[in-house]
Structure formats: C-alpha cells, structure tokens
Amino acid sequence: MMTLTEVLNMFRNGATVGEVFKSAASKEAPWEAERQTSNVVSFGHARAGIELGDKVRDDVTSFAGTVTGIADYFTGCSQALIQPPCAAAGTFQEGRWFDVDRLSITEKKAVVHIVKTARGGPAGSAPVK
C-alpha cells in the first residue's frame, strides 16, 4: 500500500494519475488496483466547462456569483467557490463552495485576470471586471 506522502511526492515530481495508480498496483493486490483505476476521472471533464471568472448559478438553491476558486479532489470531485456580488448596502457577502455538477454558467469569462503590477503576491494583481 502506498502512503499519502509517496503519492504526493509522485505528483510533485510530475507523475500523472495513471502513473500513480500503476505504481500502487505493483504494491497492492491486482483486484484492488483494478478497482482504483476504474474510478479515475479526468479533472477537465469533471468541471463541466466551468472556469475561473465565469458567472454561475446553483441549480438547487439559485445562489449566484462569480467563480473565484476551483478545487479538484483526488476522488474526482470538483467544486467551485462562488462569490456573490456585494449587497445593496455595499456589504460584503460570504462565498460558498458548490459541486460543479450543480452549477449552470450564466456568463463565460465575466471577470478576467489582468496583471497591472508586479505586486500582489505570487499570483499578481487581483482580477478586474
């Protein structure tokens, strides 16, 4: 059985999900390796076309806003952080995480990231509308 540290080190060194499963297969019973590889999901397909900066709406709650973060989990699940606009009084509203399968895109690339300066941390300047 592979440890979490071994798996993370493989990913840090550029291994693909398939390569990690092949390595795990050599350490586990053949039936276990078969079960694991049958559950592999390509993260690009799991996101349903949702990208940072898209405006989306949750189909269950009608919560709406701009995608400001995306998390791809090892299990194949992807979630998006939805930041709603400020309230009428100009007060900040808390963003929420939703499974991407529940989201409908209302506007593609509504917000884009434009780097204006070298400041602003490792990612540069904040996105602008």
Instruction: Please report the pLDDT score of residue 46 as a whole number.
Output: 56
Instruction: Please report the pLDDT score of residue 125 as a whole number.
Output: 58
116 domain residue, yes or no? no
120 domain residue, yes or no? no
Contact 21, 41 (CB under 8 A): no
Do 52 and 102 share a domain, yes or no?
Answer: yes
Instruction: Please report the pLDDT score of residue 103 as a whole number.
Output: 94
Of residues 16, 75, 14, 79, the one with CA closest to residue 40: 75
Do 48 and 32 share a domain, yes or no?
Answer: no
Do 30 and 59 share a domain, yes or no?
Answer: no
Q: Tell me the backbone φ, ψ of residue 106, rounded to 5 degrees.
A: -100, -25
Do 22 and 55 share a domain, yes or no?
Answer: no
Contact 116, 110 (CB under 8 A): no
Do 36 and 48 share a domain, yes or no?
Answer: no
Highest mean pLDDT range out of 21-30, 38-47, 101-110?
101-110
93 domain residue, yes or no? yes
**Where are the strands (E) in 22-102, listed by range?**
55-58, 64-72, 78-83, 96-99
20 domain residue, yes or no? yes
Q: CA 111, CA 127: separation in Å to the nearest integer?
A: 7
In this predicted structure, the answer to whether residue 116 has a pLDDT above a threshold of 80 is no
Tens of pLDDT, residues 48-96: 789 889 999 999 999 999 999 999 888 888 999 999 999 888 888 999 9
Instruction: Please report the pLDDT score of residue 31 as a whole number.
Output: 47
How many independent structural domains does the chain possess? 2
Parent domain of 9? 4-40
From first CA to last CA, the distance across the chain in angstroms is: 48
Do 60 and 82 share a domain, yes or no?
Answer: yes
Which residues, at least 6 apart from 40, have a Cβ–Cβ distance to it below 8 Å?
17, 18, 21, 76
Instruction: Please report the pLDDT score of residue 102 as a whole number.
Output: 92
CATH number at residue 72: 2.30.30.390
